[in-house]
Amino acid sequence: MANSNPGIERLVGRENWSTWKSAVQTYLEVEDLWEAIEPKKNEDGSLEAVNPIKDKKARGKIILFLEPANFYHVRDAKTAREASTKPNNAFEEGGLTREVGLLYKLIRTDLESCGTMEAYANRIISTCHQLNEIGFTIPERFVGVLLLAGLPERYQPMVMVLKNSGTAITGGSIKTILLQEELFPSEKNSIRY
Each residue's pLDDT tens digit, 107-159: 899 999 998 999 999 999 989 988 887 788 999 999 999 999 999 999 999 88
Separation CA 99–CA 127 (nearest Å): 10
Separation CA 91–CA 17 (nearest Å): 7
Its sign, for the CA torsion 167, 170, 176, 178, is: positive
Q: Are 160 and 132 in contact (CB under 8 A)?
A: no
**Domain locations in the chain?**
14-91, 95-189
Separation CA 193–CA 28 (nearest Å): 38
Q: Are 73 and 87 in contact (CB under 8 A)?
A: yes
77: alpha, beta or left? (left if phi > 0; alpha if psi -120 to 50):
beta
Q: How far is CA 79 from the centre of its chain?
A: 26
Give per-residue pLDDT as tens, 25-61.
999 999 999 999 998 888 888 888 999 999 999 999 9
